[in-house]
Chain A
Amino acid sequence: EPEVTQTPSHQVTQMGQEVILRCVPISNHLYFYWYRQILGQKVEFLVSFYNNEISEKSEIFDDQFSVERPDGSNFTLKIRSTKLEDSAMYFCASSYTTNEQFFGPGTRLTVL
Chain B
Amino acid sequence: GENVEQHPSTLSVQEGDSAVIKCTYSDSASNYFPWYKQELGKGPQLIIDIRSNVGEKKDQRIAVTLNKTAKHFSLHITETQPEDSAVYFCAWFLFPNFGNEKLTFGTGTRLTIIP
Binding site for B on A (CB under 8 A): 4, 31, 33, 35, 42-45, 48, 50, 55-56, 58, 91, 93, 95, 98-106
Contacts and interface: CB of A to CB of B under 8 A. Distances in A.
Interface string B81-115: 00000000100010111111111111110000000
A12 B99 CA distance: 33
Q: Which has the most chain B C-beta neighbours within 10 Å: A31, A56, A91, A98?
A: A98
B49 A45 contact: no
Nearest to A102: B46
Given A43-B103, A45-B103, A103-B43, 8 more contacts: A98-B96, A98-B98, A99-B34, A99-B93, A99-B95, A101-B103, A103-B36, A105-B43
B28 to A, nearest CB: 19
Interface of B: 32, 34, 36, 41-46, 49, 89, 93, 95-108
Mostly, the B contact residues are: loop
A55 B104 contact: no
22 contacts: A4-B43, A31-B101, A33-B101, A33-B102, A42-B89, A43-B89, A43-B105, A45-B102, A45-B103, A48-B101, A50-B98, A55-B98, A56-B100, A91-B43, A93-B43, A98-B98, A98-B101, A99-B32, A99-B34, A99-B93, A100-B46, A106-B42
A42 B108 contact: yes
A49 B44 CA distance: 19
